[in-house]
Chains A and B, each alone.
Chain A
Amino acid sequence: MSYLPQRPRKNSEARAAALAWAETITQTELDQLSDIGIPNENPNTLEAQVNTGVFEQSIGALLTEARKSRGLGKRELARQLGTNHARVTQLENAQNLELQSILGVLDKLEFDLSIQFVSRRDGKAIGAMIPMRKTVQQ
């Protein structure tokens, strides 16, 4: 039993060939390569970076679910929002997420927003409900 995140991979034959090549190269040869241009990441921020990604992808998945629950295609939603299909795809893929865009989609799909902070100490939650549009009393 194991868990390996699955993603589509291009050039599977070239990847297998690269592994065979990695058997032939030595660390001494690698150490002769230039290291100019290699970025310097701070591992202390790695978990925060991961949490940001999890947050963004969760928002994207929820937007997809909300759209599908209304029986709308991406093109139809884009038309209602006055944007294009590519922007809806971007939002659902968690790219260039902007709060204003997210709230705009929720409003158009007739969803309100509920936010909850859950304490890791005792499991207690505090939260807020944000209605997207003021309810009109009939």
Chain B
Amino acid sequence: MPVRIAYPYDPDELEAHNPPFVQDLIDLKLHGYHETVSEICKMVADLKQNGKDCRFLKQLKNYAILELKSHSRGRQKGGARAYLFRIRENFLVCRAEWKPDNEPSLECLEDTAYILKAFKEQRMVFPAHHKNPITFKEELS
């Protein structure tokens, strides 16, 4: 079964220009975390290719939330983290941060859980205007 990757919106911010995960990567890059962003992009690409067998994927203890965690140590790559949840073979990536220690930020966990709960309750997390312009162009060509 093919793996799908999606970047859901915060249900309270459906009119936002970017979903929170993409906006996190933009903010990280604007603050100089270039390697962190590249590492997270690499991990998401690996997730798309390998699904549940992705080598960066970790189940967070006590929660129905998953984490993409870099295997690199130290510096910008080592702290690359993304938080997501899974619906069958679909991975919905919600937030990202740079955090070299093991504990995820409470804010990232809460926001991911908030999107997950909204999805479970069938609230909208993919607004009608959402369309990755680059992917869209590829679909057209």
Chain A residues proximal to chain B, CB less than 8 Å: 1-5, 7, 9-12, 14-16, 18-19, 21-23, 25-27, 30-31, 33, 35, 37-54, 57-58, 93-95
B63 touches A50 (CB 8 A): no
Partner of B17 from the list A9, A14, A18, A95 (CB cut-off 8 Å) is A95
A2 touches B97 (CB 8 A): yes
Q: Report, as a range, how many residues of chain B touch the other chain.
A: 35 or more
**Across-interface contacts of B20 in A (CB, < 8 A):** 7
Closest 10 CB pairs of A and B: A5-B27, A53-B26, A22-B113, A15-B110, A2-B99, A18-B113, A19-B113, A43-B45, A45-B134, A43-B44
**Across-interface contacts of A3 in B (CB, < 8 A):** 28, 31, 33, 36, 79, 97-99
Contact with A along B77-105 (1 / 0, CB 8 A): 00100000111111010000111110001
Question: How far does the alpha carbon of A53 sit from the alpha carbon of B99 in the complex, in Å?
Answer: 22
Given the known inter-chain contacts A11-B12, A19-B63, A46-B41, please indicate yes or no for A33 contacting B119, CB distance below 8 A: yes
A38 touches B17 (CB 8 A): no
Partner of B126 from the list A18, A38, A52, A53 (CB cut-off 8 Å) is A38
**Taking the nearest CB of chain B, how far is it from the CB of A21, in angstroms?**
6
**Across-interface contacts of B92 in A (CB, < 8 A):** 38
B134 touches A52 (CB 8 A): yes
**Across-interface contacts of A52 in B (CB, < 8 A):** 133-134
A49 touches B132 (CB 8 A): yes
Contact with A along B50-92 (1 / 0, CB 8 A): 0000000000001111000000000000010000011111101
Partner of A5 from the list B12, B23, B134 (CB cut-off 8 Å) is B23
**Taking the nearest CB of chain A, how far is it from the CB of B99, in angstroms?**
4
A18 touches B134 (CB 8 A): no
B64 touches A22 (CB 8 A): yes
Partner of B23 from the list A7, A33, A35, A93 (CB cut-off 8 Å) is A7
Among B36, B37, B110, B130, residue most surrounded by chain A Cβ atoms (within 10 Å): B110
Partner of B108 from the list A4, A14, A93 (CB cut-off 8 Å) is A4
> In chain B between 1 and 38, which residues have their CB closer than 8 angstroms to a CB of chain A?
4-7, 12-13, 17-18, 20, 22-31, 33, 36-38
